[in-house]
Amino acid sequence: MTAALAVLAAASTLVACGGGEAAGACSHAERTRAQFPAGHLLPGQPEPTYLSEPPTSGPHAVVVTVPTQVTEPLSRPLQVGLLELGLVLVQYRPADVGPEEVARLEALAGATLLVAPNADLPDPVVASAWLSLQRCQDVDTDAIARFAEDRASRAPGGHLDG
In a domain, 74, yes or no: yes
Q: What is the pLDDT of residues 122-146, one digit of tens each?
A: 999 999 999 999 999 999 999 999 9
Residues in the chain: 162
Please give the tally of structural domains in the chain: 1
In a domain, 83, yes or no: yes
Note down the domain range covering 21.
3-151
pLDDT at residue 157, as a whole number: 65
In a domain, 161, yes or no: no
In a domain, 112, yes or no: yes
pLDDT at 31 over 60: yes
In a domain, 158, yes or no: no
pLDDT at 11 over 60: no
In a domain, 162, yes or no: no
In a domain, 50, yes or no: yes
Whole-structure pTM over 0.85, yes or no?
no
Which of residues 21 and 109 earns the better pLDDT score?
A: 109
In a domain, 157, yes or no: no
pLDDT, the chain, mean: 80
The span from the CA of 119 to the CA of 41, in Å, is 24
- CA distances in angstroms from 42 to 54, 60, 98, 130, 143, listed in the order given: 21, 9, 36, 21, 36
Query: pLDDT category, 120, cuts 50, 70, 90?
Result: very high
pLDDT at residue 112, as a whole number: 92
Task: Enter the DSSP assignment of 49.
Answer: P
